[in-house]
Structure 1
Amino acid sequence: MLFVSGLGAFAAGPGDAEPAAPPFVGKSYSSTAVTGPQIPGGGPLQLTFTAANRISLFAGCNRHVGEMTVEGSVLRVGSLASTMMACPGPRAGADEWITALTSEPLTWYSVGHALVLSGPGTQVLLTEKYS
């Protein structure tokens, strides 16, 4: 198919299709195991992938939301906005834990209803949550 306009031409073909969304998009997960630095206060880490480029994270203190990109098995989290509650006690470092986890690209893979995210020194096993 060829589209012609006063600004030029654009050819669309089967190779121009958007890549398929990762299998976790539109789903929510809760951590069941963490290898490496543990979530302050015990977590769990709750993730929701609301759209192909959006992520929401909660580890017991403030909710963080932002953009993400997925290229193959690499997930990159962009700048995150968060609620601003004070979190004293054992959950005091939960927000910093999220920041440390998402500051570098993560590798991911899924098997059945499980999702594994791995970053430098940390691996998180998550299980799909059902509403």
Structure 2
Amino acid sequence: MYNKESMQDMQKRVDQYISQFEEGYFSPLSMLARFTEEIGELAREVNHQYGEKPKKSSENDNTMEAELGDLLFVMICFANSQNISLSEAFAKTINKIETRDKDRWTRIASQEDNNE
């Protein structure tokens, strides 16, 4: 079983890892390219699982979990390189979504009772 780390802990752990190398973080453009590559790998896994494209017998066993982990690592690297707190970014975004989209979707009946 893996430890559950806070986003702040994850950002610190990634920074400690990257800081041991002279190269440090990649440039923002390189990280965006890497992020795009990882999105493509996730898309491939989703297509294998839910789409019409089965895996070739020669393809490695990857999972959506592994690809999401790769994306998270690259996102943390990107945020760290720009001195962005992902916890703060998430807090701002979820507040915006909960406010802007609070009446956008059809609520489940039991959820409506709890929100009144």
Same fold (TM over 0.5): no
Query: Which structure exhibits the higher relative contact order, with contacts defined as CA atoms closer than 8 Å and separated by 6 or more residues?
Result: 2
Structure with more of its chain in strand, by fraction = 1
| TM-score, normalising length: structure 1 | 0.21
| TM-score, normalising length: structure 2 | 0.23
